[in-house]
Amino acid sequence: MDDIYFSRQSGLEETRLVFLKGCGLPERWKGRGSFTVGELGFGTGLNFLGTWQLWRGTRPTPKAWLHFISFEGFPLDREDAARALSAWPEISELSDKLIERWPERALGVQRIVWPEEGVTLTLHTGDISETLPASRFAADAWFLDGFSPAKNPQMWDKSLWPMVQQRCTDGVSLSTFTVAGFVRRGLADAGFDVAKVEGFGRKRERLEVRLNEAPQPAPDVYGLRSPDDRPNRVRIIGAGIAGACLARTFLDRGLEVEMIDAASGPAKHASGNPLALVMPRLDAGDTVQARLLIDAYLRARQFYAGRPGVTETNVLQRPKDEREAARIAKVLADPPLGLENLEAAVSGQLHKQALILEPEKLIAHLLEGAETRFGEKLHLSDLNPEVPTIIAAGQGAQDLLPWLGLTGRLGQVEFADVAVDAPPSAIASGHYALALGQTRLWGATFEAWDGTGPDLSEAARATNMAALEELDPYWRQAAKAAELQSRAGVRATTPDRLPLIGAVPDEAAAREIFDGVKHGQAIEADAPLVGGLFMAGGFGSRGFTWGPWAGEILAGQILEEPAPATEPALEAVSPMRLILRALKRGG
C-alpha cells in the first residue's frame, strides 16, 4: 500500500491518536452504562481492537457495554486478517479472539458478542450507499477510516454525511485522517463543526468533528423504538429454544431473567426432539428476506459455537424437485456465502459448518442462571410495564394475541438408538436424516393442525419412512431394524413465513391511528405499543435458527443497543407489519 493514510509500522499508534484520542476516549465513556462507536471502513479490524484494548483497561463498570458498528465493502479473509494483525503482538490476545470468530464473507449484517468482555461487534457488509442508510443505531463516536479519499471515493462521498449525522447522539465526536477540502465541506454542509488539528507521522493534519445537537427521530411506524428506561429484569413466557436463546442473551447482558412455562419443564413442545438441524435457507435473489435468513443463520452459528449439545457437520442438500434444482443451480452460480461454507456437490449442494444440536443438553445450558417457574401460566392482565415481558410460546402466542393469525403446523419425526456410534452426518431433501453418536433421527412432516393434540400419526410415520428410503443414508437399514420412536409438535407459522420479533402493538389503537392506510395514505405516526410487551415467534420449522437472532434484536430494542439487523429487516419481522398489511388490503 502506497497511501499515506496507511502505516504498516505504526498503525496502532495512529488508531490511538487519530481515533481514540481524537474522539476524547476513554474520558467520554466514563460513568456510562454503554458506549457506541460507528466506523466507516473495518479493514483488518485494527481500530476495533485498539478500542477494545482501551475499553478493557477503562471499562466504567463490570456491567458496562461497548458496541462497535462498522461498515465494509470488501472484507478480508480470515487468513489475510491474521497475517496483517500479526504485526502488533501487543494486542495478540484480542486479535486471536477476533480471528477465531472472524466474520464470514456474506452481504448483510453480522453480530459477534463477547459477553465476558462487555463488547459487541456489528459488521455491515456491502456497498456503503446501501448499508449505511439501511442501518439503525446512534453512535457516541465515529471513526471515519475509509482508506484514502483518492483511492476509495465512495467511502467519502458527500451523500454519506447527512446519513452519518442521522446516526449520532448528543455530543458525538468524529475523527479522521483526511483534511481533504471536499470532505470538510461535506461534513460542514451536514451540520458538523469541523476543525483541523495536528496529524500523525507523514500526515501533518487531521480532522476532529463535533455535532452538538442530535437529530430528531423519524416517526416510528413499525414500533422499533426502545423503552424510556433500561430494565434490570425481563420475563419470558415459553421455555423452548426461542425462550432459552432470549434468556441466555439477557443473562449475558447482566439482567435477571424470569422464565415462565405452563409445561412441567423446558422444551416440552416443538423444541424437544432428540436432535435438531441448523442449516441455511439460501435464495437466488438478493432480497431483504434472503439476506435476513443468512444473517440469522450466521448469528446462530456464532451463538451456538462451543456450547454443550452442539456438533458441527456438513449437510448434503439434494433438490426435492425440478423447481428446487433450478433454485440451487442459481444459488451456486452466484453463491451468497464463500467456499468455506458452500460448494457444489454431485447431487446438489454441500453446506459446510452446519450444526446438529441436542436440544435437551443445549437448552438446559442456555437456561443456567434464569429463575424458572414451570406449571404456571401468565395472563396479559399480569403485565408490569417496568419489567419487559417477551412472549416466546410458539403457537401459544395465538391464544394470548388472537389477532396475530398464527397457523399451527403439525410436525412429526422418527428416531431410534442403534448399537454403532457414528460421526455426525446430515442429508436434506425436503425431509432430513441425521446421525450423531448412536442416535438416528429423520423427518419431519409439516401438516395442517386441527387444534388438538399434537397426536402421533401412522400416516406421518409412513411419510417419514418413505422419506428415509428416498434420502438413503448409509445407516438406513440399521435404523429400520431398531426400536422406532416418534415425536410430534406444533410449529407456529405466519402468512408470509417470516418470524414475529419486536414490540407488540396495541391492535385497536393501531387500526384507528393508521386507518388512512386503507385509502392509500402514508400515516407518519408512532405505532401505539402495549407497554412492556414484546414477542419472538412464528418461527415455523426454523426455531433453532431464528432464536439467537431474535435474542439480539430484542436485546437491542429493549436495552437501547444498536440493532443487529438492517431497518428493512426489522420492519419485515415487526409484529406491527401484520396490522399495516391488513389495512393496506382493506382489512
Contact between 427 and 315 under an 8 Å Cβ cutoff? The reply is: yes
What pLDDT score does 5 carry? 39
pLDDT by residue (tens digit) across 175-228? 999 999 999 999 999 999 999 998 887 778 899 999 977 888 999 999 999 999
Cell of 388: 419487559
Contact between 283 and 293 under an 8 Å Cβ cutoff? The reply is: yes
Would you write out the chain's pLDDT as a tens digit for each of its 587 residues?
344 334 544 789 999 999 999 999 999 999 999 999 999 999 999 999 999 999 999 999 999 999 999 999 999 999 999 999 999 999 999 999 999 999 999 999 999 999 999 999 999 999 999 999 999 999 999 999 876 777 778 899 999 999 999 999 999 999 999 999 999 999 999 999 999 998 887 778 899 999 977 888 999 999 999 999 999 999 999 999 999 999 999 999 999 999 999 999 999 999 999 999 999 999 888 889 999 999 999 999 999 999 999 999 999 999 999 999 999 999 999 999 988 999 999 889 999 999 999 999 999 999 999 999 999 998 888 888 899 999 999 999 999 999 999 999 999 999 999 999 999 999 999 999 999 999 999 999 999 999 998 999 999 999 999 999 999 999 999 999 999 999 999 999 999 999 999 999 999 999 999 999 999 999 999 999 999 999 999 999 999 999 999 999 999 999 999 999 999 999 999 999 999 999 999 87
d(CA 304, CA 310): 7
Cell of 429: 431433501
d(CA 461, CA 256): 42
Contact between 511 and 576 under an 8 Å Cβ cutoff? The reply is: no
What pLDDT score does 3 carry? 42
Cell of 106: 456474506
pLDDT by residue (tens digit) across 531-552? 999 999 999 999 999 999 999 9
In the three-class reduction of DSSP (H, G, I as helix; E, B as strand; rest coil), residue 103 is classed as coil
> By C-alpha distance, which of 117, 83, 109 is closest to 8?
83
> By C-alpha distance, which of 582, 416, 584, 376 is closest to 494?
582
- The label of the residue with cell 400416516 reads 459
What pLDDT score does 200 carry? 80
How many other CB atoms are there within 10 angstroms of residue 564's CB atom? Answer: 28
Contact between 192 and 211 under an 8 Å Cβ cutoff? The reply is: yes
d(CA 538, CA 232): 27
The CB-based long-range contact list for 6-13 (8 Å cut-off, 24+ gap) reads 6/147, 6/148, 7/201, 8/87, 9/87, 10/200, 10/201, 11/46, 11/87, 11/88, 12/46, 12/50, 12/88, 12/90, 12/91, 13/200
pTM: 0.95
Q: Which domains does the chain have, with CATH numbers?
A: 11-211 (3.40.50.150), 233-268+362-405+496-584 (3.50.50.60), 408-493 (no CATH)
Peptide bond into 402 cis (omega under 30): no
